[in-house]
Structure 1
Amino acid sequence: MKRLPLIIFFFSVLTQAQTPKDKDSITQLDEVILLDALKKKNAAGIVPSEVISAKVFQNYSPVSMVNSLNQIPGVYVFSGALNTNRITMRGIGARTLFGTDKLRMYYNDIPVTDGSGFSSIEAFDLENLSQIEVIKGPKGTTYGANLGGALILNPKEALGRSTNFSNNLTAGSFGLLKNNLSFNHFDGKFRLGLQYGHMETDGYRQNSNFERDGFLLNASYQINAKDNISLLINHIDFTAQIPSSLGATAFAEDPQQATFTWRASQGFEANNYTLLGVNYSHRFTDKLENSTSIFYTYLDKDEARPFGILDEITKGFGFRTRFSGTFDFLEKQADFSFGAELFKDEYDWDEFRNLWEDNDGNGSLKGEQFARNKEFRSQWNAFGTLLFPFSDRFSAQLGLNLNKTDYDYRDLLNSGTENRSAERNFKAILLPSLNLEYVFSEDHQLYANVSRGFSNPTLEETLTPDGVINPDIAQETGVNYELGTNLYLDQKRFQLNLSIYQMNIQNLLVGERESEDRLVGKNAGKTRHRGLEIAMSYNWTISKNIQLSPFVNYTLTDHSFVEFIDEGDNFSGNPLTGVPEQRRTAGIQMRLFEHFYWNITHQHVGEIPLTNAADLYSDPFTVFNTRMGYLKKLSEHFTLGIDFGVNNVLDKVYAQSVLINTQGFGGREPRYFYPGDERNYYGGLKIGYSF
C-alpha cells in the first residue's frame, strides 16, 4: 500500500534579491521569474551549444539537476538515486553501468572529471549554479574533444553592483528538507559569493536515506584594468544509502523495496569532496589575453556493498591555461585561442570483506582486507582554434586537440609475491575539428561540423579478469558529422533549433560483468549513432499581465551495432543497448500578473533495449511535473516568495534508470530496473534582503 505523501508548505529556492545601483544592473531575483535564458559566449565556437539556466531550472524541484538536463534534446540522465546518475549524450555513455564517463565536465572552467574519465554531478548543488552549458559530441575542441561532449557548470554570482543575502528553504514528501543560505557582493572590483546548503531526505524506496552538506566560496578581485584574480572553493559531504536495482518481478510487486542484500547489509556510500582552484587572468593588449588556473581536488569515499566494503581516496591536481585574441584577416577580425591543460591524480582503493551476515542485523561490518591498490593517472590536452570570417555571412573554424593519457597501476597487497603491477600508456591521439557557419539573415543560421573524438577506458575496463593491466585494450575513437540550423520567426518570438548527426565509433568498449563485484572490458566492434534533435519555443505576450512560453524538445535516434561479435554471438545490426529511440520533453511556462508563475512539463521516454540481442526492452513512460510560485519585492530591501510543486503528477510507475546486459548471480533474477519516485510534493519559502 502506497503511503500518502505529506504536503509540506514551504520552503524552496530564492535567487539573490538585490537593489540595482546603476542603470545596467540586473537582479538574480528577476532571473527566476523572467522567461529569457541567461546567455553567454558559446563555448563550442560558432556551432551552437545548449545553455540551461533559470528558465529551465524554474520548471523543476531544486533538489536535483537531472530533470533540467533531461530537457535538452540528445541528453538523457539515467538516475537510480540522488547519488547514482549516468549522463548520456547522443547514446555515448549509455553502456556504462554506473556513473558518468566519456564526457568532460568543468566547473568555472576548471576540469573536474577524474583521471579515469568519470564525472559526478552529485558533487554540485543546483541552487549554487547560474547555468550549465552543454556541448554535444566532440566538437568542443577547447573542452577535451570527448565523444560524449562536455558540461560546463557556472556558479552563481552577484549581477550588477549589489550586496544581498537570501535563504531558500524547501520541504516536501519523503521527509525532504533542503536549505540554501547565500550571500553575494560586488562593488565593481571585489566580487564575493558564499553559499551553504543542507539537504536530507528519507527517499521513496527502502534504504534510500540521503544527507548532504555543502559550502561554496567564489571570490574575485579586479586588480586593475588588465589583471583579475579569483578563488574557488567547493566542498560537498554526503552520505547516501543504496537500495540498488530490482528484477522485473520485484519491480512489478513493490517498486519501493530495496534489493534484499543491500537492505540487509544497510549498503551506503559516504563522499567527502573538495575542489580548490585559483585563476589569474591578464589582458596583454586589446587583441590578446590569457586565463590560467591551478586546481586541487580531494575525494574520500567509503562504500559498503554486500559483497565487499570499498575505501577510496583520490587526490588530483593540475593546471589549465588558455590564450585568446584576434588578428586581421581579409579586412575583418579573426579569432584564435590556444592552450593546454594537465590533470594528474592518485587513486588509492582498499577492499574488505563485508561481514553483514554475522552482524546480528546491524548492517555492514568491515572484515578482512582482500585488496589494496593504487593507480597514478595523468592526462594532458593541448588545444587550439582559428575562426576565419571569410565574409559577413560565411565563417569557418578550425580546431585541433592533442590528448595523451597514461595509467600506472600498483597492486600493493601482492607486491611481495605475485606482482601484478603494470603501466598502460596510450599513444598521443590527434583530434581535429571543422565548424562551418552560414548566416542567411539575423534570424536564420546554418551550421555544420566534422570532428573526431575519443573515450578512454575506465579503470575496470583496463584490467583483465585476473586484475592485471590489459595491454590490448584501446581507446574508443569516432568521427561526428553534424548539420543544423537556428531559425527565429515572428519578431524572434518563435525559435527553432534543429540538428541531424551521425557518429561512427570504432573500438567499442564493452564491459563484461564476470561476477557481482567484477567488471572487465574489451574492444568489441563498431557502432553508428544517428539522430534528429528538435527544440522549439514560443514567447507569447497575451496582455500586460499574461505571458505564455510553450516549448517542445524532441529526440529521435537510430543507434545500432555495425559490427559486434561477442563470445561467438553476432549482434551486428541490432539496436544499441541503453538508448531510447524517442524522447520528448514539452511544457508551458506561464507568467501571470507580474509576480505569479505556473509551469507544467512532461517527459516521454520510449522503450530501451536492455540486451545486446535486443530480446528485452524497458517499458516506455510519460511523467508530468508542475511548479507554481509567487515572488514579490515588499520593500526597497526585502523580498518574499512562496512556491509549490508536484513531481509525477499522475503517479506513474516507471523505471527512472536501467542497467543493460545484467546477469543474475546465485540463481537470482537479473536486476535491470531502478524505480522512479511515486507522486510527491514540495513547497518553499523564499526570503531575500538587499543592503
Structure 2
Amino acid sequence: MRVFVSLLCVSLPLLLLGQISPKDSITQLDEIILVQNAVPKKATGITPSSKIAGQTFERFNPTDIPSAINQISGVYILSGAINTNRITVRGIGARTPYGTNKLRMYFNGIPVTNGTGSSTIEAFDFENLGAIEIIKGPKGTAHGSNLGGAFILDTKASIENKTQLTNTFSVSSYNMVKDNLTFSHAEDGLKLSLSYNHLETDGFRQNNEFERDGFLLNTQFRTGRNSSLSFLMNYIDYTAHIPSSINQTDFDEDPTRAASNWLAAKGYEANKYILTGLSYTHLFSQHLQNTTSIFYTYLDHYEPRPFNILDEFTNGFGFRTVFEGDLGKVQFTLGSEFYKDEYHWGTYQNLYEENNGNGSLQGTQLNDNIEFRRQFNLFGTLTYPITSAFLVQAGLNLNKTHYDYRDLFNQGAENASAERDFDAILLPNLGLNYQLKNGKIYANISRGFSNPSLEETLTPEGIINPVIAQETGISYELGSEWSLFEKRLTANIVLYRMNVKNLLVAQRVGEDQYIGRNAGETRHQGLELDLQYQGKLSRSLTFSPYLSYTLNDHSFLDFVDNDNDYSGNPLTGVPKNRLSSGIDFRHSNGFLLHLTHQFVDEIPLTDANTINSDSFNVFHMKLGFRTSLSQNISLGLNAGVNNIFNTNYAQSILINATGFSGSQPRYFYPGNGRNLFGGIQLNYVF
C-alpha cells in the first residue's frame, strides 16, 4: 500500500503536467535534456542500456554514489559503508554476502573486474566520473555476457580548447571533509586531466572512520591523422574501519553501534589500489576502426577481522581489442578480452583479546595460498537493417575460465593444491529494434553466465570442488522508449524474465564452514518503468519531475537445501517493490533545488522467508547556486540534508545470518541518520 501511495503522489503531477501546451517550451529546456544525453553510450548493442551523468550526479552529495545509481530502475546498491557496496541487477548478485560479483565493470573502456568476477565501485572517486552506463542482464555481448550485465564508468571529458583548474570542497556531518582538485587542458590533438582527491570522515557508527587519498591521470593525444593514444592511471589509498552488521535489538535501540567483536578488535581494512592502462585507436578507413588496450592492476589489502587477519595482494594484467565497422548495410563488432591475475593470500591469528584493549594484534600464520586465474572472452556482433526502421542484431560471446590454486602452507598429503578448468561456454544474443515516430520498441533474448567465486570453488578443507558448475541463464526482454510532447516527456518501460540454473549457494557444514554448491533454479522476472518530464513554471524557472519504479517478482523455482525445500519462496535479499522519485528546479539566475525520494519494500532475510527487513522511505534535499565572478572565474555553492525525517532504515542487509554461542543473527547495516552537507566549487579558466 505504501509503495502505491508513493507511486500515485509522483505520477499525478506527471500526468497533469502532460496537459501543458507544447507552446510553453523554452530554449533552456533543450539544454537541460542535453546535460544527460550529451554523453554517448558505449555499449555495442541495439537493445537500449541505461545511463546516468551530470544531471543525476548533482542531486546528491559527492560521497553518495549509491543514491545516484539507485535512481535507475532494476539496479540496487546495498551500501553497508563507503567501502562496503553490493550491486544487484534484476536480483542477480543478491546472494553475494559481501561485495559485488556476477557483472563486469569497465573504467574508460578498461576491464576492472578481477579473475573471479568481483568488482569494487568504491575504488573510484564519484566526482571524477562523467557518466555511468549500465547494461542490465547478459545482452552485453561485447562486455562479458554476465548474468548481472555490465557497468561502464567514464571519467569527465576535458572541454575542447580550454585550460581549467577546478577545486571542489565539501563538508558534512560526522566530521566529513572532502576535497577534489582537478586540472584539465584540451587543445588540438591533446587532452589532459589530472585530479587529486581526499576524503575523511568519522562515520555514523562506532568504528566507522574512513580516510582516502587518490590520484587520477587521464591523457589522450593524436599520434597521426587517423590514430590516437591514451594513458590512464588511477591510484587509491584508503583505510576504512569496519562496524559490520548488527542484530535486531541493536538496530532498533541504537543503530550507531558496531558489532561488539569488531569493535573490540578495532577491525578495519587498508587498501592500496592502482590501475594503469594504455589504449591505441586507429581509423583504418571510414568503414573500419580498432581500439586496443593493455592494462595492469595491483591491489594490496590488509584486513584484521575478529576471527583472523587477512593479508593479500593481487597482480592483474590483460588486454582488450575491439574492431568496429561496416560492410555495406551490415555493421559489425569483433573483439577479444583477456585477463589474468595472481592472487596471494594468507591468514593469521588475531590476538586482540590479549592486546589490552588496543585492538588487533597479528599472531601465528594459519595458511598461505596463491591462485592463478585467467579469463578469455571472444565476441562479435552483426547488425542488419531489414528496413529503415527495423534493425536486427545477432551476437556471440565465447568465455573460457581457468583457476590454478596452490597451497604453499601444507606439505605432503595435506597439501590441497589443485586446478579447475571450466569448459568453454557459448553465449548467444539476438536483439530486435523497431523505430516509431515518437519512440521505439525492442526485444532481446540472450544467454549469460556467472563464475563461482574463489570461496565457492573450495571445500572447507581448502580443496578444489571438482563438481561445482557455472551459473547459466537465458534472459527474455521486451521494452519500449517514448519521447512525447516535443521531447518534454520521456517514458521507458521494460518487461523481462530470466531463469537461472545451477544456482550457487553456500551450504553450511560446520559452525564457521561453508561449501559452495549448485542448488536448483531461480526465476527472475519483473517490470521497470522510468518517467521524466521537462516543464516550466515561468520564463525563468523550469522544473523536471521524474520517477523510476521496479517490480521484482523473483523466486526459487527449485531449491532444496538438505531437508529444507524452499521452492516457490521469494528470492532472498531482493525487495519486491522499489521506487525512486524526485523533482529538479532550475532558475535562470543559477539557483538549483533537488528533492529526491526512495522507497524500498521489505526484503526476505532468510531462504525460508521467516524474517524480513522493514520497508522504508527516505527523503533528501539539495540546494545549489552557480554564478560567474568574472570572465575567468565561476563559483558554485551547495547545501543539503540527507534523510530529512531521520528514518532508521537498513541500507544493506546480510542474508541467512547465523548467531553463534546464543547470540542473535546480525542481519542489518543501518543507513545514516539525518545529516547535513555543504560545499563550494571554484573554477578558473586560463
TM-score, structure 1 normalization: 0.94
1:121 and 2:116 correspond: no
1:223 and 2:223 correspond: yes
CA distance in 1, matches of 2:180, 2:32: 15
CA distance in 1, matches of 2:392, 2:98: 38
Corresponding residue for 1:458?
A: 453
Contact 2:232 2:276 in 1 (8 A): yes
**SS of the residue aligned with 2:414?**
coil
Contact 2:52 2:132 in 1 (8 A): yes
Corresponding residue for 1:9?
A: none
Superposition pairs for residues 153-192 of structure 1, below 5 Å? Answer: 153-192=153-192
**SS of the residue aligned with 1:380?**
strand
CA distance in 2, matches of 1:249, 1:186: 56
CA distance in 1, matches of 2:660, 2:514: 14
Contact 1:34 1:55 in 2 (8 A): no
Amino acid in the other structure paired with 1:622: N
Corresponding residue for 1:621?
A: 616
Superposition pairs for residues 471-486 of structure 1, below 5 Å? Answer: 471-486=466-481
CA distance in 2, matches of 1:539, 1:626: 19
CA distance in 2, matches of 1:185, 1:585: 37
CA distance in 2, matches of 1:51, 1:519: 38
**1:560 Cα deviation from its structure 2 partner:** 0.3
Superposition pairs for residues 283-682 of structure 1, below 5 Å? Answer: 283-328=283-328, 333-416=329-412, 418-441=414-437, 443-513=438-508, 518-682=513-677
Amino acid in the other structure paired with 1:95: R
Distance of aligned partners of 1:130 and 1:196 in 2 relative to their CA distance in 1, 3 Å threshold: same
**1:319 Cα deviation from its structure 2 partner:** 0.3
Contact 2:41 2:51 in 1 (8 A): no
Contact 1:31 1:54 in 2 (8 A): no
Distance of aligned partners of 1:32 and 1:209 in 2 relative to their CA distance in 1, 3 Å threshold: farther
Distance of aligned partners of 1:32 and 1:201 in 2 relative to their CA distance in 1, 3 Å threshold: farther
Contact 2:36 2:53 in 1 (8 A): no
**1:540 Cα deviation from its structure 2 partner:** 0.3
Contact 2:590 2:625 in 1 (8 A): yes
**1:668 Cα deviation from its structure 2 partner:** 1.2
Moved over 2 A (4+): 30-39, 512-520, 541-544
Contact 1:660 1:672 in 2 (8 A): yes
CA RMSD, Structure 1 to Structure 2 (Å): 1.3
**SS of the residue aligned with 2:423?**
coil
CA distance in 1, matches of 2:533, 2:33: 16
Q: 665-674 vs 470-479, which deviates more?
A: 665-674
CA distance in 2, matches of 1:336, 1:566: 45
CA distance in 1, matches of 2:296, 2:42: 26
Distance of aligned partners of 1:682 and 1:513 in 2 relative to their CA distance in 1, 3 Å threshold: farther
Corresponding residue for 1:16?
A: none
Amino acid in the other structure paired with 1:578: G
CA distance in 2, matches of 1:167, 1:435: 44
Contact 1:139 1:449 in 2 (8 A): yes
Q: 132-141 vs 536-545, which deviates more?
A: 536-545
**SS of the residue aligned with 2:249?**
helix
Contact 1:300 1:313 in 2 (8 A): yes
CA distance in 2, matches of 1:38, 1:665: 53
**SS of the residue aligned with 1:246?**
coil
**1:641 Cα deviation from its structure 2 partner:** 1.6
**SS of the residue aligned with 1:197?**
strand
Contact 2:247 2:665 in 1 (8 A): yes
CA distance in 1, matches of 2:567, 2:155: 44
**1:44 Cα deviation from its structure 2 partner:** 4.4
Distance of aligned partners of 1:33 and 1:264 in 2 relative to their CA distance in 1, 3 Å threshold: farther
Distance of aligned partners of 1:185 and 1:387 in 2 relative to their CA distance in 1, 3 Å threshold: same
**1:390 Cα deviation from its structure 2 partner:** 0.9
Distance of aligned partners of 1:384 and 1:34 in 2 relative to their CA distance in 1, 3 Å threshold: closer
Amino acid in the other structure paired with 2:125: D
* Structure 2 spans left out of the alignment, 5+ residues: 1-29
Distance of aligned partners of 1:587 and 1:258 in 2 relative to their CA distance in 1, 3 Å threshold: same
Superposition pairs for residues 230-269 of structure 1, below 5 Å? Answer: 230-269=230-269
**1:39 Cα deviation from its structure 2 partner:** 2.9
**1:444 Cα deviation from its structure 2 partner:** 1.4
Contact 1:38 1:54 in 2 (8 A): no
**1:416 Cα deviation from its structure 2 partner:** 4.3
Amino acid in the other structure paired with 2:121: I
**1:221 Cα deviation from its structure 2 partner:** 0.6
Contact 2:44 2:333 in 1 (8 A): no
Contact 1:32 1:54 in 2 (8 A): no
**1:542 Cα deviation from its structure 2 partner:** 2.8
**1:418 Cα deviation from its structure 2 partner:** 1.3
Distance of aligned partners of 1:248 and 1:383 in 2 relative to their CA distance in 1, 3 Å threshold: same
**SS of the residue aligned with 2:460?**
coil
**SS of the residue aligned with 1:223?**
strand
CA distance in 2, matches of 1:527, 1:34: 40
CA distance in 1, matches of 2:616, 2:419: 45
Amino acid in the other structure paired with 1:367: G
User: Per residue, is there more helix in 1 or in 2?
Assistant: 2
Distance of aligned partners of 1:514 and 1:70 in 2 relative to their CA distance in 1, 3 Å threshold: farther
**1:515 Cα deviation from its structure 2 partner:** 6.0
Amino acid in the other structure paired with 2:426: L
**SS of the residue aligned with 2:224?**
coil
Contact 2:524 2:553 in 1 (8 A): yes
Distance of aligned partners of 1:223 and 1:310 in 2 relative to their CA distance in 1, 3 Å threshold: same
State the number of aligned residues. 657
Q: 238-247 vs 663-672, which deviates more?
A: 663-672
Q: 344-353 vs 219-228, which deviates more?
A: 219-228
CA distance in 2, matches of 1:32, 1:64: 22
CA distance in 2, matches of 1:235, 1:517: 35
CA distance in 2, matches of 1:118, 1:587: 32
Amino acid in the other structure paired with 2:419: E
Amino acid in the other structure paired with 2:683: G
CA distance in 2, matches of 1:316, 1:387: 34
**SS of the residue aligned with 1:392?**
coil
Distance of aligned partners of 1:70 and 1:489 in 2 relative to their CA distance in 1, 3 Å threshold: same
**SS of the residue aligned with 2:607?**
coil
Contact 1:181 1:195 in 2 (8 A): yes
Contact 2:36 2:52 in 1 (8 A): no
Contact 1:44 1:139 in 2 (8 A): no
**1:37 Cα deviation from its structure 2 partner:** 3.9
Q: 213-222 vs 587-596, which deviates more?
A: 587-596
Corresponding residue for 1:111?
A: 111
Amino acid in the other structure paired with 1:457: P
**1:517 Cα deviation from its structure 2 partner:** 5.7
Deviations 1:280-318 (A, max 9, x none): 011111100100000000000000100000001000000
Corresponding residue for 1:7?
A: none
CA distance in 1, matches of 2:588, 2:293: 45
Amino acid in the other structure paired with 1:275: L
Amino acid in the other structure paired with 1:462: T
Deviations 1:604-633 (A, max 9, x none): 000001111111111000000111110111
Distance of aligned partners of 1:275 and 1:436 in 2 relative to their CA distance in 1, 3 Å threshold: same
CA distance in 1, matches of 2:216, 2:511: 37
Corresponding residue for 1:138?
A: 138
Contact 1:648 1:679 in 2 (8 A): yes
Amino acid in the other structure paired with 2:113: T
**1:646 Cα deviation from its structure 2 partner:** 0.8
* Structure 1 spans left out of the alignment, 5+ residues: 1-29
**1:516 Cα deviation from its structure 2 partner:** 7.3
**1:35 Cα deviation from its structure 2 partner:** 5.4
Identity, % of aligned pairs?
54
